[in-house]
Amino acid sequence: MESISVRSTMTEFWKEHSKEATVEEMMLDSNARELTKQELPEILSLLPSIKGQRILELGAGIGRYTSHLLVRADHVTAVDFMESFIEKNRQENGHHSNAVFLQADVTKLNFPKNSFDLIFSNWLLMYLSNEELKSLVEKMLSWLTPNGFLFFRESCNHQSGDTKRDFNPTHYRTQSQYNQLITMTQWMDPEGRKEFGFDIILMKKIITYMKMKNNQNQICWLLEKVPRLSSTQGGFTTFQQFLDNRQYTRRGILCYEKMFGAGFVSTGGASTTKEFVDLLNLKPGEKVLDVGCGIGGGNFYMAKKFGVEVLGLDLSQNMVEIAMERAVKEKLPQVHFELADATKRSFCEGSFDVIYSRDTILHIQDKLALFKRFHSWLKPGGRLLISDYCCGEKPWTPQFQAYVKQRCYILHMLGEYGELIEQAGFCNVRTEDRTAQFIQVIKSELERAEVIKDEFIQEFSAEDYLAITNGWSDKLQCCDTGDQVWGLFYATRD
């Protein structure tokens, strides 16, 4: 009964606010046309290739996106709740032979499984209750082809437009709530007996709204439908789940930050960041991609010190959420963050002047494929700088073997790592063994930890303190045996 009442209230509201079927009415914003000019190309740039694809557009409205999807896709089914909007869309785009227009409630839609390659949704899910949303996400999983994509954009925390709303059927969820729902949703193909779920390819804020309206709460997601494997990393079905629930819990991240210093969660904190960034000879206005950005300390430093634009990517939801929180306080419009899988994220060739990564690629199985992506993303003359964990010759000690397995690391010897960078097409590859520096930094951090021990335990716990300090002591032993090596790599795109 409650959902019927909400639907009735929504219908009456939208009838009142959609009489002319204008873009201002649809977006509930008096500045809708100016916003669209910048927002539309930004969002379209985030989509995977749609050439020859079958697309389901939910909440299509008057066709802001429909017309652009139709000229590239093989087919588009455009759906909207409001008859006036879908009729306006039909009038504008009905001449396309590859379009179908449906006036329908999305909670009552049904399509055969594997019907679409991409489902596109803009400002829709916030109108659904938690139960309706969960049901729709499960349906969308079944409607998508394997390795198909779901793209959606929502207002998180509060409304987007400037039109006063005299009803409140919306559910302004946080990005964490959407992420949790996404990663928990699964669907079993009854014929193939294969279980599917969504992997997050990217999650990011809409830059247009940040620049034009100082609105940090417009967020979009790109998800891929993939087979769910039986427990692969310590009982988790995705590596992202492993990171956020085992290695990088929110509490664990804040513990690391307490030890490494504000904004940092990797070896040496601000000091090694400054040293390594200085090697890049950054210039104002250059564009930097930070792969494995953590909670953003290095990004903020580069933007403040050198006036560069920085995009930080990380696969840990917890890392990115903290980084986004810090970004609001830092007020640096040239710094942005994405929850993204660098092995699946795509950028145009020559998008960046610099790619920077700190102790992150140790998690990647196919490093050569990733380095080839880096090479493509860099401009001619662009620079690559990576610090990463490497290893000594096998056989390793049992202690190091257990450590690598527990962390799901994929390690290479220093020379092998540098050779992979060369094979990816880079030139002027410089490989440095920084293990001695690594050992000295850890010893310094252990000394600092002793100084702040009481403060740390009061803020966190004795167990957290021992987990970090014992981990550092174990790393020192692994370095002493020659098993663990810290490498620094610099290269350029010719």
Q: What is the pTM of this model?
A: 0.89
Give the pLDDT score at 166: 46
In the Cβ-directed half-sphere of 418, how many Cα atoms lie within 13 Å?
16
Give the pLDDT score at 1: 45
Which whole number is the average pLDDT over 29-33? 81
Among the three residues 167, 201, 227, which one is the final residue of a domain in this structure? 227
291 shares its domain with 185: no
Give tens-digit pLDDT for 304-317. Answer: 999 999 999 999 99
Give tens-digit pLDDT for 226-244. Answer: 988 655 555 676 788 888 8
Q: What is the overall mean pLDDT for the chain?
A: 91
Element of type H or E holding 479: helix 462-480
Largest CA-CA distance found in the chain, in angstroms, rounded: 75
Give the pLDDT score at 229: 67
**234 is a domain residue:** no
Among the three residues 206, 227, 248, which one is the final residue of a domain in this structure? 227
Please tell me the total count of domains within the chain: 2
CATH assignment at residue 115: 3.40.50.150
314 shares its domain with 376: yes
Q: Do residues 80 and 100 lie in contact, with contact meaning Cβ atoms separated by under 8 Å?
A: no
Give the pLDDT score at 108: 94
Q: What is the CA radius of gyration of the chain?
A: 24
178 shares its domain with 305: no
Which whole number is the average pLDDT over 411-418? 98
Domain that includes residue 72, residue range? 2-227
Give tens-digit pLDDT for 166-213. Answer: 444 556 788 888 988 888 888 888 877 788 999 999 999 999 999 898
177 shares its domain with 244: no
Decide if pLDDT at 69 tops 90. Answer: yes
Give tens-digit pLDDT for 256-277. Answer: 999 999 999 988 999 999 999 9
250 shares its domain with 194: no
223 shares its domain with 243: no
Q: Residue 349 corresponds to which amino acid? A: E
Which whole number is the average pLDDT over 273-299? 97
322 shares its domain with 392: yes
**461 is a domain residue:** yes
**249 is a domain residue:** yes
Q: Which position has the token pair 């916003």?
A: 35
